[in-house]
Amino acid sequence: MGVESTRSRLVRRLRTRSGDWGGLLLGVTGSGCSGIQSALDPAGADAARIYWLTIILAIGGALIFVGVTALLLYAIFAAPARRAWLGGRRTIVYGGLAFPIATLSLLLPYGLTVMRDVDAPAEDALQIEIIGEQYWWRVRYPASREQPEIVTANELRLPVGQPITISVTATDVIHSLWIPNFGGKIDMIPGRVNRLSFTAERAGRYRGVCAEFCGDQHARMAFDVLVVDAAGFAAWRAAQAEGAREPPTPFLQRGRDLFRSGGCGSCHAVRGIEASGTFGPDLTHVGSRRTIGAGQLPNNIGTLAGWIANTQHIKPGVRMPSYGMLSGEDLRALAGYVESLK
């Protein structure tokens, strides 16, 4: 525990400094670099290592670039007598052969060291499984010790400071899991299981996206990552393991009945109301998620109703059809029920 907190303090410090560096180095709008989906705003040791690698590579590259450009301009514009020393075969041997070999010989071991230290699985890591599907994320926390399995979608909740190992694969086409604030990406390939290990060391909300082109709605395949403290995580996990909440009002009960009669359960699972479809996301606790549509819209009754009625307009090509035939009242009841599944 002590080690962990030291580490996270270290990362916090790194982060503050790196934020300055990033702004200084890249000279872009300040808001850009620090963000919920930015490799330049690391929130874990792995991402921080890669961040510093990025900074060193960028500074080194910039210096070499300035040097080469300066030499080129000197070769063009300096007086012939002054630039004569540059015009021999020696320049090529030193500049084009010796210098790159020396630089790369230094760079390569550093890069390999970073590679060794980043994405290294830890013994006690929290295991998570994510399956990429067109165009959403199936998330499973397998049972471990006394914790039961939980299944959710399009949202990842992580305990701060605990090592994480995510096993990924895909059932349809290749996707790629990328949460820039925590480290690199890992491809989700049908028939193969890949692993990504990292530790989230700063609580907060982040965003992951699909990085491998996966079809029509590749652009709209994202998810939230919520990093919470250990107690919050435990509470969330316990809540997720529960069955679905009974609708407390007649209006919401009507929504549940519509959910049943409308056949929603043939694609979606809601544990507790004999809806056990596995084709689409598990909705048992969909109301507890921040967003819907794989990170597309904030989660509330209005957006849920809009989504149900207009999926094909909001995210054309998505597997779920638009249910535009529902009356306004029915739609509100259904959306209300779904929203109540906290």
- Residue list 76-105, contact with another protein (CB under 8 A): 76, 78, 80, 83-84, 86-89, 91-93, 95-97, 99-101, 104
The size of the interface with another protein (CB under 8 A), counted in residues, is: 88
- Give 34 or 253: the residue with its C-beta nearer to another protein: 34
Q: Tell me the sheet residues that pair with 150.
A: 141
Query: Given the complex with another protein, which of 218 and 332 has the nearer CB atom?
Result: 218
Residue with smaller CB distance to another protein, 30 or 243: 30
The residue length of the chain stands at: 342
The C-alpha atoms of residue 68 and residue 89 are separated, in whole angstroms, by 16
Tell whether residue 23 is a contact of another protein (CB under 8 A). Answer: no
- Taking the complex as a whole, the smallest distance from the CB of residue 303 to another protein amounts, in Å, to 14
Backbone angles phi, psi at 164, to 5 degrees: -120, 140
- 294 versus 309: smaller Cβ distance to another protein: 294
> In the set 4, 12, 19, 111, which binds another protein (CB under 8 A)?
111
Extract the tokens encoding 10: 């270290």
* Least CB distance to another protein at residue 33 (A): 6
d(CA 246, CA 257): 12
- What is the nearest approach in angstroms of another protein to the Cβ of residue 225? 12
CB-based contact 180:44 (threshold 8 Å): no
Indicate the pairing of strand 297-298 with strand 222-228: unpaired
Neighbours of 238 (CB within 10 A): 12
Shortest reach from residue 25's CB to another protein, in Å: 10
Which residue number, 211 or 326, has a Cβ lying nearer to another protein? Answer: 211
Q: Which stretch binds another protein (CB under 8 A): 179-187, 224-232, 242-250, 272-280?
A: 179-187
Nearest CA-CA partner of 198 in 252, 250, 128:
128
Stretch of residues binding another protein (CB under 8 A), selected from 70-78, 136-144, 224-232, 233-241: 70-78
Residue nearer to another protein on the CB measure, 64 or 230: 64
Are 175 and 221 in contact, with CB atoms under 8 Å apart? yes
What is the phi-psi region of residue 231: left when phi exceeds 0, alpha when psi lies from -120 to 50, beta otherwise? alpha
Separation of alpha carbons 223 and 179, rounded Å: 9
CB-facing half-sphere around the CA of 304: CA atoms within 13 A: 23
Measured between alpha carbons, how far is 192 from 131 in angstroms, rounded to an integer?
11
Minimum distance from residue 201 beta carbon to another protein (Å): 17
* 201 touches another protein (CB under 8 A): no
Sites for another protein among residues 300-329 (CB under 8 A):
316-317
Rounded to 5 degrees, φ, ψ at 268 are: -110, 140
Site string for another protein, 114-153 (x = CB under 8 A): xxx-xx--------------x-------------------
CB of 155 to another protein, least distance (A): 16
Do the beta carbons of residue 254 and residue 225 sit within 8 Å? no
- Residue 305: half-sphere exposure toward Cβ, Cα within 13 Å: 16
Instruction: Please report whether residue 174 would count as binding another protein according to CB under 8 A.
Output: yes
Does residue number 279 form part of the binding site for another protein (CB under 8 A)? no
Nearest-approach distance from CB 60 to another protein, in angstroms: 8
Q: Which residues pair with 159 in a beta bridge?
A: 228
Q: Enter the tokens of residue 28.
A: 């872009």
Taking the C-alpha atoms of 189, 114, 128 and 191 in order, what is their torsion angle to the nearest 10 degrees? 20
Q: Is 215 in the site for another protein (CB under 8 A)?
A: yes
Does residue 155 belong to the site contacting another protein (CB under 8 A)? no
Instruction: Provide the mask over 217-256, with x wherever binding to another protein is found by CB under 8 A and - wherever it is not.
Output: xxxx------------------------------------
Work out whether 203 is an interface residue with another protein (CB under 8 A). Answer: no
